[in-house]
Amino acid sequence: MAKNYFNRYVWLIETIHRYGHITLKDISRKWEQSALNDDGEPLAERTFHNHRLAIEESFGIELRCDRSLGYYIANPDDIGDGGVREWLLESISLNNMLNEAGSLRDRILFEKIPSSQRWLSPLVTAMKDAKAVEITYRGFSRDRESTFVIHPYCLKLFNRRWYLLARSEGFDEPRIYGLDRILNVVQCDISLELPEGFSGRDYFADYYGVNHPEGAAETVELKVDGSQVAYFRTLELHPTQEEVETGEDFSIFRFRLVPNYEFLQEILSRGSMVEVLSPGWLRDEVRDEIKRMASLYD
């Protein structure tokens, strides 16, 4: 789907959402004034209805008409569901906003995500078409690339990198592939074999990041310095996070997850502001890693 159409769809969703109810005539007038409208033409009724149907198909958002009030969003709660729909809307919405206010382009700065530029689109297309893909891949620890067929299950963004969960033919369990290590993608004429009832959200529910080691979820408690508590409260590390104790200059946060490598690295990145209280083995592992780090500066 062309990028400019995505921009139009999001503009239309935003416009109707902003006004609650709005007539097609008013929508058309606002489209004439939009920076996204290169030719300055009004929005034709036929085009509007084509966009309306495409919005429902692509985003699952229903635009309905009240004869006395105009068009409205029938399921507004779905816009903020925390999934790919919300991410797409926020991303393209911000791009549209910058187009509307071009003078601010150098004053609103983003973190670059190189892995999204080349392979995200063909992989999304393959998943939508329920097709396997042939990829050429070279891991960072490998000295040469290899080409093989995979069945793409889901995509996940973590720490400015996109990752693909997929099952490679010849293996029973799915594996993680970094999009920034992919050299080529070709869609195959092979039907995608996706486990019945598969949910990417459920697959990663007990983990932080994308690393998926064996083991059951367990309770982890972190003692967080008072200067960092607000950061934890406003941007949780994991959906299971809960604040179980609040002191004068600290808080204790509890999690239910598998403490994988990425979670360990996140704890270490917080330095002396975060202390592992439990489980004991994780506390010992963090302590030992800190000793190894300190030895580099002896």
Question: What CATH number is given to the structural domain containing 143?
Answer: 2.30.30
Do 251 and 287 share a structural domain? yes
* pLDDT at res. 289: 95
Do 198 and 142 share a structural domain? yes
Which residue range(s) make up the domain with 65?
3-107
pLDDT in tens, 204-245: 999 999 988 888 999 999 999 999 999 999 999 999 999 999
More confident residue, 119 or 65: 65
Residue where a domain stops, chosen among 178, 203, 228:
203
Do 129 and 84 share a structural domain? no
Query: Domain for residue 209, yes or no?
Result: no
Query: Domain for residue 171, yes or no?
Result: yes
> Residue 84 above 80 pLDDT?
no
* pLDDT at res. 129: 87
The answer to whether 133 and 188 have CB atoms below 8 angstroms apart is: yes
Q: Has this prediction a pTM greater than 0.85?
A: no
Query: Domain for residue 23, yes or no?
Result: yes
Query: Domain for residue 175, yes or no?
Result: yes
Residue where a domain stops, chosen among 107, 136, 154:
107
pLDDT in tens, 37-70: 877 788 889 999 999 888 887 777 889 999 889 9
Cα 136 off chain centre by: 24
Query: Domain for residue 27, yes or no?
Result: yes
Do 251 and 171 share a structural domain? no
> Residue 24 above 90 pLDDT?
yes
- Total structural domains in the chain? 3
Q: Compute the average pLDDT of residues 184-197.
A: 91
pLDDT band at 101 (very low <50, low <70, confident <90, very high): low
* pLDDT at res. 71: 93
> Residue 176 above 90 pLDDT?
yes
C-alpha–C-alpha distance, residues 140 and 137, integer Å: 10
* pLDDT at res. 122: 85
Mean pLDDT of all residues belonging to the chain: 86
Residue 29 phi, psi dihedral angles, 5° rounding: -65, -40
Do 227 and 193 share a structural domain? no
Do 103 and 118 share a structural domain? no
* pLDDT at res. 215: 86
Q: Compute the average pLDDT of residues 281-297.
A: 95
> Residue 140 above 80 pLDDT?
yes
